[in-house]
Amino acid sequence: MSPAKTAPGSAVTQASVALLRDYSLEITARDSDQLEEAAPFIPPGTGISITFLPSEDFSSRIDAAVNVRRLGFVPIPHIPARRLKSAAELDHFLDRLATEAAVDRVFVIAGDTGAPNGPFEDALGLIRTGSLARYGVVHVGIAGYPEGHPAIDSGKLWQALIDKSRLLGELGHEYSIVTQFGFDAAPLLEWAATLRSKGVHVP
C-alpha cells in the first residue's frame, strides 16, 4: 500500500481509527498488577473483561473487578453458567460485584466444563433466572461462533443465539455478541450476514 493511501486523514487511516475506537481488553484475576502498570496508556472508561479461570476463586475475580473500577475502567466479568454450583452462588457473586465494583455489564457463557456443577446447563438458563437485572446488570454480552464450535452443531448454536437474543430483549437488557478469534474474513462476513437476516441487529 502506498504512503499516499495511508496518509493522515485518508479513508484507510480514518477506518483504522474507527475500528480501534472503543476497543476493550481482557485480563485474568492475576493480571491486576499488570493492569495498574498499563493504566496510564489506556483510555479512561475502556471495558476490561475479566475471565473466569478454573484456578481462580470468586473473591479474586471480585477483587479484580474492584481494581478495574478503581483505575477508571469498566469491569466486565465473565459468568460461565456451568461452573456455578447453585442459584444462591450466582446471586452472591452478582451482589458483591454490584456493591463492591458497581458492575453493570457482564459476559454470560455456558462454560466448557463437561457437566454442569449446578443447575445451569447453559447461558440461557442463567439469563432466564432474572438475577442479572435484579443486581443492576444493564448490558449482557453473549457468545457467537462464526467458525462453529467443536462440540455443538451449527443448528443448535444458531437456535441458542436466537433464544438468548429474544429473552434478553424481553427482559429489557441491552446486549451484544462477542465472537471467538477469527483469522479468515469469509466465515466472519457470512456469519454476520446470516445474523442480520435472522433479525438480530445488535453490535
Q: How does the average pLDDT of the chain come out, rounded?
A: 90
**Mean pLDDT confidence for 115-127:** 94
Give me the DSSP letters along 46-112. Answer: -EEEE---TTS-HHHHHHHHHHHHHTT-EEEEEEEGGG---HHHHHHHHHHHHHHH---EEEEE--S
What integer pLDDT is reported at residue 9 of this predicted model? 67
pLDDT above 90 coverage of the chain, percent: 73
- As beta bridge partners, residue 142 has 177
Quickly state the pLDDT bin for 8 (edges 50, 70, 90). Answer: low
Confidence of residue 149 (pLDDT cuts 50, 70, 90): confident
Mean pLDDT along residues 38-54 = 93
The confidence score (pLDDT) of residue 170 equals 94
Confidence of residue 4 (pLDDT cuts 50, 70, 90): very low
Number of other CB atoms surrounding residue 35 within 10 Å: 18
Count other C-beta atoms under 10 Å from residue 81's C-beta: 24
CA atoms of 104 and 65, how far apart (whole Å): 11
State how far the Cα of 107 lies from the Cα of 45, in Å rounded to an integer. 17
Strand partners for 50: 27, 77
Q: What is the pLDDT of residue 78?
A: 95
Residue 49 has phi, psi (to 5 degrees) of: -75, 140
> Which distant-in-sequence residues (6+ apart) come within 8 Å of 84 by Cβ?
90, 93, 117, 118, 119, 120, 126
CB 197 within 8 A of CB 170: no
Those residues whose C-beta lies under 8 Å from the C-beta of residue 3, and which sit 6 or more positions away, are none
Per-residue model confidence (pLDDT) at position 7 = 58
User: Which of 17-21, 45-49, 86-90 is least confident?
Assistant: 17-21
CA atoms within 13 A on the CB side of 163: 13
Instruction: Indicate the pLDDT class of residue 151, thresholds 50, 70 and 90.
Output: confident
Helix 87-101 and helix 58-70: axis angle, to 10°?
A: 20
